[in-house]
């Protein structure tokens, strides 16, 4: 998958991940808050990876898991 990031205005960054478009920005203290900051995007990716791993493992073991939730913070 190709990921492209480009600056748009102020600290905003438009990210294209395959066909998916994301926006990153800094908080309103220095940016406009138009999207999650890079740290929140990284934590989101880590959380998604962890959840998908748990769900795949549970499916392989035939464990009845309906939902997995993680909480991450900087």
pTM listed for this prediction:
0.84
Residue given tokens 């998604």 in the structure block: 48
Residue given tokens 């929140």 in the structure block: 40
The stretches of 1-74 forming alpha helices (DSSP H) are 38-61
DSSP assignment letter at 16:
E
Q: What is the pLDDT along the chain (74 residues), one digit of tens a residue?
A: 999 999 999 999 999 999 999 999 999 999 999 999 999 999 999 999 999 999 999 999 999 999 999 999 98
The answer to whether 39 and 74 are in contact (CB under 8 A) is yes
DSSP-derived 3-state class of residue 51: helix
**Rounded to an integer, what distance in angstroms lies between the CA atom of residue 30 and that of residue 8?**
15
């Amino acid at each position: 998958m190709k990921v492209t990031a480009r600056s748009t205005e102020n600290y905003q960054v438009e990210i294209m991940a395959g066909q998916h478009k994301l926006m990153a920005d800094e908080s309103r203290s220095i940016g406009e808050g138009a999207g999650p900051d890079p740290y929140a995007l990284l934590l989101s990716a880590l959380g998604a990876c962890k959840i998908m791993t748990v769900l795949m493992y549970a499916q392989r073991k035939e464990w009845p898991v309906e939902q997995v939730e993680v909480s991450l913070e900087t």
